[in-house]
Structure 1
Amino acid sequence: MREYIKCALRNLGRKKLRTVLTVASIAIGVASVVLISTIGDVGKFAINNELNSLGLGSLSISVSKQRTDLALQQGDLETIENMRQVESAIPIIVEYSSLSMRGLVANVAIWGIDEGANQIISLSPNYGNLFTRNDIASESNFCLVDSNTAKGFYGRENIVGKQMRILIGGSYEDFTVVGVVQSGGNAMQNLIGEYLPMFVYVPYTTMQRLLGRSSFDRIAVKVHDSAVVDQAAKDIVKGLEYANRTRGGYNAENIAQQKDNLNNLLSIVATILSSIAGISLVVAGLGIMTVMLVSVNERTREIGIKKSIGASRGIIMSEFLVEAFTISSIGSMIGVVVGVLLALIGCMLFHIEVLLNVRMILFTVTFAVVSGVICGVYPSWIASNLRPVDALRYE
């Protein structure tokens, strides 16, 4: 086998440009599949983390859009908190508006939350503090900002004590930053910050005062046992309907189920894109067949000499198959290196954790090598069946 490989490398070196182009076609195909599959896995992992951090617990309770006569009130929150399946529940109000700081204006998503929000939504203070019970009770004009918002306005994270003006209820209100948090959505903002608004958190009571309302947009619920989320959702809806003497007025969304549906969609998209990229491997295999057929034609006289001095059909066929194997193997290895490097660079640029699907990489390499060898069978068979007399006579 060592002699076969040496002979294959020597023969491939005769036509360097042709060999390089063939190897490059395989490398591009393999790199495409590796890169696309890695992007799919990394994207799915990042989005899952963001959904977990934004999560809204296990369930999100809201009023049916058709029922304009209903609204989530303080009594509904207490009803949910008193249910045995519920570990914690928080009111949430969300407004999309704008904020002004240092003469700069930006779009912002304003989240009205209470002091226990970090039990359900991922809020980790980098600087300062989260809201206290007194902040909620006194309807303070305090706010929390995520680290991206802080860096966007000041170029640094620690802006505790700074003032900002937020447009709420038709007019700008002054707020004091009491904490800078690492919140859900930061990774998404790194990726698509141009389209995703900045996040600012204020006491929900403050938003109610400024908006002139007493209701909530939704109630985020965390249940004790994730295995009975669906049953807890039904019980919560029934409890709210019983307490308000109505029917069909409330919705309970299972966030975990929505995440699973999104995962399935992302997997399908990644598979389709990888399959499309995989077509290039088949095309590269056909390129190997073309190169091998040309090589057989160019080396007809050489084949005749080898057969005349005793080389069997098996030896001639093995020689050409090893050449096909060598081309596809070198191209596959280069493709894996290029694909992995591109994936690593992309993850570093967007500050995303690197995930490499080793099984997919091994499958891609195996597919590329096998398809290359298969495409080399026909030219090898032609070479092995040449008659020595005809081959020696060939000019």
Structure 2
Amino acid sequence: MIDYVKSAFRNLQRKRVRTSLTIFGIAIGVSSVIIVGNISRCGTTALSTELESLGLSGLTISASQDAGSVSLNETDLNIIKRCDQVEQATPILVESTEVTARKIRTKAILWGIDTKANQIISIHLLYGRMFNNEDIRDGANVCLVDEAFSKSTYFRSNIIGKTVTILCGGAEENYKVIGIIKTGSGLLQNIIGNYIPTFVYVPYTTVQKASGKDYFDQIAVKIKSGGNVDRIGQAIVDKLDRNKCSTGAFVSNNLAKQKDSLTNMLDIITLILTAVGSISLFVASLSIMTVMLVSVNERTREIGIKKAIGAKRSSIMLEFMFEAVLISFIGCIFGLAAGYLISYAGANYFGMALNIRGDAVLPVLAFSILSGTIFGIYPAYKASNMKPVDALRQE
């Protein structure tokens, strides 16, 4: 075995440029597959974290579009809180708006929440405080803004005590910043921040007062551990319908299931892109057959001499097979190294974590060795089947 490997190394060094170009082609194919896989994995992880940070991992109750005049109110909120398996429930009002600070106007999503919202929606407080009962009772003009907004307007994270102007209910009013929050990884804002609006949180009673609403847009519900989200959501909807003497007036949304559907769709896209990247690896593997066939033609007399002095067909075949596999293996190693170096550089640039996974490396390595074996079979078979007399006649 060792002799075959040494012989393969010696033979490949005869035509270094040709061998290097073949290895380079295989390395490009392998690295493309690795990079596509890593981009998808990081993107899926980041998107999942971001969606969870927006509360998209629980249950929401809202009025159906066909509900007519039926809406959610304080009575409905109390009914939901008393339901079995419900750990916490909080009202939510959402409005697309604009926020102005230091004459910089920014598109924003205004969330009206209460004091318990951070127990359901993942709101990580960096500075300041959350809303208290007095803020909710008085409908105070106070707000929480995200760190990205602070940095874009005041060029620092902590802007506690500053005043921002928020358009709410068709009128602009001044709000005091009492807290700075960081939602999720902030990755989406970093990559496509110009297209994703900033998030601003105010007491839900403040939104109601400014917009004249006496109802909620939706109610976010936190289910106790181990509870069946779909079943509990349906039970809540049925109880609300009975209370309103209505049918189908309310709907429950399992946001965790929607998030899973989105990540599954991303997995399918990843599979397609990986398949496209694998085509380049397959094409590069074809070059192994070309190189080996050329090598067989160049070494015809050598093969004839070896067979004339007693070399077996299996020995000749294994010699060429080892050369093909060695080209593929070296190209795969270089491709893996290049793919992960580029992936790590990209991950560090966007502030993401990336780990080497065996379930991604081993299939690529196995495919490369297998392709080297498959595409080396015909040249090796052709070399081993040469008759010594015919081979020695070749010039």
Cα deviation, residue 230, structure 1: 1.6
Instruction: Report the counterpart of residue 150 of structure 1 in structure 2.
Output: 150
| Matched residue, 1:195 | 195
Q: Distance in 2 between matches of 1:337 and 1:391?
A: 41
Q: For 1:146-198, what per-residue CA distance to the aligned partner results, in whole angstroms no more than 9, with x for missing partners? A: 11111121222111111111111222211111111122472222232121111
Matched, 1:163 2:163: yes
Give 1:207's aligned residue: 207
**Counterpart residue type for residue 68 of structure 1:** G
Identify the residue that residue 69 of structure 1 maps to in structure 2: 69
Whichever residue aligns with residue 4 of structure 1, its letter is Y
* Contact kept in structure 2, 1:56 and 1:221, CA below 8 Å: no
Name the TM-score, length of structure 1 as normaliser.
0.96
Q: Which amino acid aligns with 2:182?
A: Q
- The answer for the alignment partner of 1:335 in structure 2 is 335
Residue 77 of structure 2 aligns with an amino acid whose one-letter code is L
- Structure 1 counterpart of 2:118, one-letter code: N
1:337 shift after superposition: 0.9
The verdict on how the C-alpha distance between 1:230 and 1:42 changes in structure 2, with shifts beyond 3 A counting, is same
Q: Which residue of 1 aligns with 2:55?
A: 55
**1:326-381 deviation per Cα after TM superposition (whole angstroms, max 9, x unaligned):** 10001101111111112211211111222443212111110111111110010001
Q: 1:315-326 maps to which residues of 2 (within 5 A)?
A: 315-326=315-326
Partner secondary structure for residue 87 of structure 1: strand
Q: Secondary structure at the match of 1:227?
A: coil
Contact 1:29 1:280 in 2 (8 A): yes
- Equivalent pairs, count: 395
What is the alpha-carbon root mean square deviation over aligned residues? Answer: 1.5
Q: CA deviation at 1:77?
A: 0.9
Give CA-to-partner distance per residue, 1:89-108, whole Å, 9 cap, x none: 01111111111111211111
Q: Which runs of 4+ in 1 moved over 4 A?
A: none
Partner of 2:293: 293
- The equivalent residue for 2:283 is 283
* Helix, strand or coil at the partner of 1:96: strand
Asked if the contact 1:57–1:220 (Cα under 8 Å) also holds between the matched residues in 2, the reply is no
Cα distance in 1 for residues equivalent to 2:39 and 2:357: 10
Alpha-carbon distance, 1:64 to partner: 0.8
Change (3 A) 1:56 1:115: farther
Tell me if structure 1 keeps the 8 A contact 2:49–2:185.
Answer: no
- TM-score scaled by length of structure 2: 0.96
Q: Is the 8 A contact 1:109 1:198 kept in 2?
A: yes
5 Å-filtered alignment, 1:1-395, equals 1-56=1-56, 58-184=58-184, 186-395=186-395
Q: Is the 8 A contact 1:289 1:375 kept in 2?
A: yes
* Deviating more after overlay: 320-329 vs 274-283: 274-283
Q: In the aligned structure 2, how far is the partner of 1:350 from the partner of 1:203?
A: 33
The Cα of 1:57 is off from its aligned counterpart by 5.4
162-171 or 135-144, larger mean C-alpha shift: 162-171
**Partners of 1:114 and 1:382 in 2: how far apart?**
78
Answer yes or no: is the 8 Å Cα contact 2:140–2:203 preserved in 1. Answer: yes
Q: Is the 8 A contact 1:147 1:182 kept in 2?
A: yes
Counterparts in 2 of 1:254 and 1:194: CA distance versus 1, 3 Å: same
- Secondary structure in 2 matching 1:364: helix
How far apart are residue 299 of structure 1 and its match?
1.1
Report if the CA contact (8 A) 1:57-1:221 is conserved: no
Contact 1:59-1:252 at 8 Å conserved across structures:
yes
Tell whether the 8 Å contact from 1:50 to 1:188 is kept in structure 2 after alignment.
Answer: yes
Unaligned runs of 5+ residues in structure 1 are none
Q: Which moved more, 1:88-97 or 1:303-312?
A: 303-312
CA distance in 2, matches of 1:226, 1:211: 38
Residue pair 1:54, 1:185 contacting (<8 A) in 2 also: no
Q: For 2:226 and 2:99, locate their aligned partners in 1 and report how far apart those are by CA, in whole Å.
A: 38
What is the rounded CA distance, in whole Å, between the counterparts of 1:290 and 1:219 in structure 2? 65
- Structure 2: give runs of 5+ residues left out of the alignment: none
Q: Take 1:227 and 1:37, find their aligned partners in 2: how far apart are those partners? A: 34
